[in-house]
Amino acid sequence: MENTTKLLINHAFCHAMLIPAFIYGELWMFFAAFLWWYVIAIVAISGGYHRYYSHKTFEAGKWYPWAVNILGMFAGAGPAMTWAATHRQHHAHSDTELDPHSHSIKGKWAVYVNTWGYGFKIKRKFIKRLLQDPLLRFFHKYYFHFNVAIIVVFTAIDPLLMIFGYAMPVVLAFHGYGILNILGHKGAQPNNSWVANILTAGEGWHRNHHRRAGSYEIGQKWWEFDPTKIFIKLIKVN
């Protein structure tokens, strides 16, 4: 089974888990799931997949890549290697046929539904350096094995733990970044969005990011909410 199919099945499963979540869940569980998603977003997706692996905007201790790859499994965004290569191609070929997130070519709702760029052909040059990282190769190879293990173990402990500790963050990540892909562009131009920013822990300042892709400070002004930037300042070693 191809990785794209596995991702689609996983997302369908996690969205289906919204039904028992609203039937059996309590308000504090939804709040806890959102806070858990924020940890995942800051450490793994915004901080790790994006600003660390895609753009290499900072250096961190040896513990950090492990944290990124482990926590990244709770977002359902696929392995870090694929995500970073896809994002690099997006920057190199914005709003062309080679851009996985182009509104003008694919349409905004097609981009929303395909938030993570499922099945999009990535040029080898964007993944070449990433392939040299043995940790990335390991988690790329076993990403879906670990996801199945998380689902099985969490369900065995408590089905609600699986729903709110795994399925809910996957759903929040999907729609948070889907909204970012919609509101983060006006036509063919990148756009800043408060709404997308709150949902993705600082990624919504998309116009800022395209202007200074080599900086981890996507929120560039004091009032531009960017918790990922604060986290990186605390852990970076350069």
Name the band, by pLDDT with cuts 50, 70 and 90, for residue 151: very high
| DSSP one-letter code for 5 | H
Domain that holds residue 137: 3-235
The three-state secondary structure class of 192 is strand
Mean pLDDT of the region 163-178: 96
Instruction: Determine the Cα–Cα distance for residues 17 and 13; give it in Å rounded to an integer.
Output: 6
Residue 31 has pLDDT above 80, yes or no: yes
Instruction: Determine the Cα–Cα distance for residues 110 and 48; give it in Å rounded to an integer.
Output: 26
* C-alpha distances out from residue 104 to 9, 178, 186, 195, Å: 28, 16, 10, 22
Overall domain count for the chain:
1
Mean pLDDT of the region 47-67: 97
What are φ and ψ of residue 192, in 5° steps? -85, 140
The reported pLDDT for the residue numbered 119 is 66
Residue 1 has pLDDT above 60, yes or no: no
Lowest mean per-residue pLDDT among 7-21, 26-40, 177-191, 203-217: 177-191
Is residue 206 within 8 A of residue 197, CB to CB? The reply is no
Query: With 0-12 CB in 10 A as exposed, 13-18 as middle and 19+ as buried, what is 52?
Result: buried
Mean pLDDT of the region 178-194: 84
The reported pLDDT for the residue numbered 230 is 97
Is residue 196 within 8 A of residue 183, CB to CB? The reply is yes
Q: Nearest 5°: CA angle at 225, between 223 and 230?
A: 110
